[in-house]
Structure 1
Amino acid sequence: MKLLLNIDVDELSSAEAFYVAAFGLQPARRFGEAVVEMLGAEAPIYLLLKAAGSTGAGAKPRNYDRHWTPLHCDVVVDDLDAALARAVAAGAVQEGAIREADWGRIVTIADPFGHGWCLLQFRGRGYDEITT
């Protein structure tokens, strides 16, 4: 199985700039004026230009205010503080404090298009620290 991630955005050039600045992704290919492929993660990320108010899944209009979805992306980083500073400088909004866990550290952010992301820094064996 091959995983591709698609992220709806209402402005393609600012989305491309955000994902380059926040996560170090790089644009690879363009598919017309409405899609850019971003590489640098374990799966390709496609930014899809979709106007606010256009029909999304389930016939609901797209809304780029902060929203919740049952699916979100985790970005595993070596230095959580540096990654958070980079994402915020690029336009992300930190949502709550950095939290400590047996497996590492986590903080949630929202990108400028309303999507939620988690930044994770594993310690030791990562999630294996909490397996039995």
Structure 2
Amino acid sequence: MNLLVNIDVAELAPAEAFYTQAFGLQPARRFGNGAVELLGAQTPIYLLCKDAGTIGAGTMTRDYARHWTPVHCDVVVTDLESALSRALSAGASQEGAIREADWGRIVTVADPFGHGWCLLQFRGRGYDEIAT
């Protein structure tokens, strides 16, 4: 199975700038003016330009204010403070303090398009520290 990550955004150019600056992704293929493929993660990420107010899922319309979804992405980093600084400089908003866990450290951020992201720095064996 191959997994692709699609992220709806209201404007493609600022979204591309954010994701390349915040997470170090690189633009690859472009699909007209409506989408760009970003590489550099373990799976390709596609930014899809979709107007606010258009139908997103079922009867729900797209809204780029901060929103919650039960599906989100984690970005695993080696230096949490540096990654957080880079994301904030690119336009992310920090949502809470850095938290410690048995498996490592975490901080949550939101991109300029309302999507939430977790930045993780594993410690020791990462999730294996708590696996049963």
Fold-level match, TM-score > 0.5? yes
1: distance between equivalents of 2:94 and 2:83?
Answer: 11
SS in 1 for 2:37: strand
Task: Give how far 1:10 is off.
Answer: 0.1
List aligned pairs for 1:1-132, cutoff 5 A: 1-132=1-132
Cα displacement (A) at 1:131: 1.6
CA RMSD of aligned residues (A): 0.5
Q: CA deviation at 1:22?
A: 0.1
Query: Where do 4+ consecutive residues of structure 1 move more than 4 Å?
Result: none
Structure 1 gap ranges (5+): none
Give CA deviations for 1:65-90 in whole Å, capped at 9, x if unaligned: 00001100000000000000000000
Give the secondary-structure state (helix, strand or coil) at the position aligned to 1:120.
strand
The amino acid of 1:99's aligned partner reads R
Q: Distance in 2 between matches of 1:56 and 1:102?
A: 37
TM-score, structure 1 normalization: 0.99
Q: 1:45 offset after TM fit, Å?
A: 0.2
- 1:32 positional shift: 1.1
Equivalent pairs, count: 132
Q: For each residue in 1:76-123, what CA deviation from the matched residue of structure 2 results, as whole angstroms up to 9, or x when unmatched?
A: 000000000000000000000000001000000000000000000000
- Stretches of structure 2 that go unaligned for 5 or more consecutive residues are none
